[in-house]
């Protein structure tokens, strides 16, 4: 949570400022945070009849005593177990509803909110378990492709070649980004979707769909991270657009066994246009092009879309 220190007065002042979104302003997130931009758009759809169950990550400091930007409820758990927290809350609400101790109007949507570190790694077992049990919950993951909160170390969601605080060598991160969408889909949940804050109409439509369904639902939000990725905060939306237009971040949804791409970039822009915008990939272009790594990145994007479009 670098650069997020903020005094109370300042926070209070910002919090009272008019916001077009339901989520309050004045949070201590970095300027140009793509994750926060996505959550603002998402919260407008989900609304305040919700309890956000959070795991350790950047967004944990959204609720920072005594302030919160959420008009609904919030429960911080730990890094590994937000879906288990959702299980306990959901089960208890169902018990209270069944016993007539909770009016239907007082019911809440149980929403898990975590970053990619929790979603792909330490919390994956709890997530998988919640899906086996057909838990009725909505999982919002903001994917900034690293442990952003602790200074952008490589996570299971870090893409090949990216420089992170734990992969500073000339090749960048040597691993491969985990396919969380496919992992979820393999569990046959109710709904899985990817979104990007740069494509708000697509995002809102998917959130509306997710909101009106029951069962396990994931909305995986692309979260361009100026602090961790090395770009100017004002370019956040642009970076999001390029990720979609170059085919790096496919916008898609899974329902009833079928995956549909909601936006197919045609023509696809060259991947380098996306990579070149970010400091974390600069070493792939300077002092000279790293053809080997770039080739691997290009061909994996090409292979993905060839399979979709054939």
**Residues in contact with ligand SF4 by the rule CB under 6 A:** 29-30, 33, 35, 58, 144, 148-149, 223, 225-228
Residues of span 46-65 touching another protein by CB under 8 A: 48-49, 51, 53, 60-61, 63-65
CB atoms within 10 A of CB 85: 22
Residues of span 217-256 touching another protein by CB under 8 A: none
**CB of 208 vs another protein, minimal distance in Å:** 19
How many residues at the interface with another protein, by CB under 8 A?
47
**CB of 130 vs another protein, minimal distance in Å:** 8
Among ligand SF4, another protein, none, what binds residue 303 when CB lies within 5 to 8 Å by partner kind? none
Pairing mode of beta strands 109-115, 137-143: parallel
Q: Which of 22, 25, 26, 91 binds another protein (CB under 8 A)?
A: 91
106 Cβ contact partners less than 8 Å away, ≥ 6 residues apart = none
Q: Should residue 276 be labelled a site residue for another protein when binding is judged by CB under 8 A?
A: no
Chain centre to alpha carbon of residue 159: 15
Q: Which of 14, 22, 45, 78 binds another protein (CB under 8 A)?
A: 78
Q: Which of 70, 184, 191, 222 binds another protein (CB under 8 A)?
A: 70
Query: What are the DSSP E strand ranges found in 116-181?
Result: 137-143
94 Cβ contact partners less than 8 Å away, ≥ 6 residues apart = none
For helices 124-132 and 82-98, the axis angle rounded to 10 degrees is 30
Nearer to ligand SF4, 142 or 254 (CB): 142
Nearer to another protein, 109 or 145 (CB): 109
8-state DSSP, 158? P
Is the preceding peptide bond at 66 cis, omega within 30 degrees of 0?
yes
Q: Which of 77, 155, 158, 245 binds another protein (CB under 8 A)?
A: 77
Nearest to 22 by CA among 191, 199, 207: 207
Task: Read off φ and ψ for residue 8, nearest 5 degrees.
Answer: -60, -40
Nearer to ligand SF4, 35 or 172 (CB): 35
SS3 258: strand
Q: Does residue 82 contact residue 55 with C-beta atoms inside 8 Å?
A: yes
Nearest to 69 by CA among 13, 31, 24, 35: 24
Among ligand SF4, another protein, none, what binds residue 146 when CB lies within 5 to 8 Å by partner kind? none
Q: Does residue 143 contact residue 195 with C-beta atoms inside 8 Å?
A: no
Q: Should residue 186 be labelled a site residue for another protein when binding is judged by CB under 8 A?
A: no
Pick the stretch among 18-26, 101-109, 173-181, 225-233 that binds another protein (CB under 8 A): 101-109
**CB of 185 vs another protein, minimal distance in Å:** 19
**CB of 117 vs another protein, minimal distance in Å:** 16
For helices 236-245 and 34-46, the axis angle rounded to 10 degrees is 80
Q: Does residue 158 contact residue 164 with C-beta atoms inside 8 Å?
A: yes
**CB of 120 vs ligand SF4, minimal distance in Å:** 15
Which residues of the shown chain bind another protein in the complex (CB under 8 A)?
Answer: 48-49, 51, 53, 60-61, 63-65, 68, 70-78, 80-81, 83-89, 91-96, 99, 101-102, 105-108, 125-126, 128-129, 132-133
């Amino acid at each position: 949570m670098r650069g997020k220190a903020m005094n109370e007065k300042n926070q209070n002042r910002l919090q009272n400022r008019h916001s077009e979104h339901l989520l309050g302003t004045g949070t201590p997130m970095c300027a140009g945070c793509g994750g926060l931009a996505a959550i603002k758009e998402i919260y407008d759809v989900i609304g305040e009849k919700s309890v956000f169950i959070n795991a350790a990550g950047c967004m944990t400091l959204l609720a920072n005593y005594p302030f919160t930007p959420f008009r609904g409820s919030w429960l911080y758990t730990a890094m590994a177990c937000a879906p288990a927290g959702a299980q306990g809350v959901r089960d208890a609400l169902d018990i209270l509803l069944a016993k007539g101790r909770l009016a239907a109007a007082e019911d809440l949507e149980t929403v898990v909110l975590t970053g990619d570190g929790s979603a792909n790694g330490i919390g994956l077992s709890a997530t998988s378990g919640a899906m086996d049990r057909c838990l009725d919950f909505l999982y919002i993951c903001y994917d900034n492709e690293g442990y952003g909160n602790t200074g952008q170390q490589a996570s299971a969601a870090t893409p090949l070649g990216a420089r992170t605080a734990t992969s500073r060598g000339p090749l960048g991160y040597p691993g491969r980004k985990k396919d969380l969408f496919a992992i979820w889909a393999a569990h046959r949940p109710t709904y899985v979707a990817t979104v990007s804050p740069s494509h708000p109409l697509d995002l809102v439509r998917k959130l509306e769909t997710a909101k009106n369904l029951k069962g396990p639902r994931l909305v995986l939000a692309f979260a361009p991270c100026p602090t961790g990725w090395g770009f100017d905060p004002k370019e956040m939306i642009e970076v999001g657009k390029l990720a979609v237009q170059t085919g790096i971040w496919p916008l898609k949804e899974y329902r009833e066994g079928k995956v549909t791409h909601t936006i197919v970039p045609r023509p696809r822009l060259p991947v380098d246009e996306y990579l070149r915008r970010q400091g974390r990939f600069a070493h792939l272009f300077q002092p000279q092009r790293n053809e080997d790594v770039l080739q691997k990145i290009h061909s994996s994007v090409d292979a993905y879309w060839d399979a979709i479009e054939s």
